[in-house]
Structure 1
Amino acid sequence: MAEPVPNKAIGLNPKYVEAFNNRGNARFDIGDKKGSIQDYNIVIELDSNYALAYSNRGNARADLGDKKGAIEDYNKLLKIYQKSWTTEKAAACFRQSQKTSAVITKLNLILLCLL
């Protein structure tokens, strides 16, 4: 059985989301979809922005025929990734604006020297 390592990690740190997620994956792999959902629920309780748990739980729900629950999980997953993507895009724009600002400053200095 694939559960002993995650169980040990959970025993050492009951708030270790990756261990619960890994145990959920192990349970999913051996066909214990309901057990995997219980672990993914714990992950989401501990960290509501842990996107992988929504994907995993959605897959388990879909396999059990809970299409509505699966769609809810996939929609939450998309919202998390959208927030992440927006943040990354904003950071990239900021970095680009800093570079542009530095170039403009250098060009202004060159123009001042030429005058």
Structure 2
Amino acid sequence: MKIVHFVLSESFAGIEQHVDEVLTNFSSHKLILICNESIASYFDKSINIYKVKNFGRRSFFGKYKLKKLIKDIDPDIIHTHGSKTSSIISSIKTKNYKHVATIHGVKKNKKIYEKSRLNYWS
């Protein structure tokens, strides 16, 4: 199974450390990371990383490039971390992958996570 993890943070902190640990410890699947180019160097060197420039939730060009990249990767599952990446993936969803969203931290508004194609845990 091909699983893409998607984080779009500008700094390497809690979410990113968690993703790094997941990607280095679950090797029974083909794991890929799409992340902001400014934090890519902090992840374990054995991880297959696609670097993207940071972009906002409403960036047409950023979402267009991401959708093209996802089409090229052709994952079975996209696992987003945080509300920004969950919102972006929900807005460009295609029919050939499942979307899992992980909430990091306490969120009052969980609507964006409810749009993911699989259930979420809080």
TM-score by length of 2: 0.28
Q: Higher relative contact order at CA 8 Å, sep ≥6: structure 1 or structure 2?
A: 2
Higher strand share: 2
State the structure with more CA Rg: 1
Report the structure, 1 or 2, having the larger helix content: 1
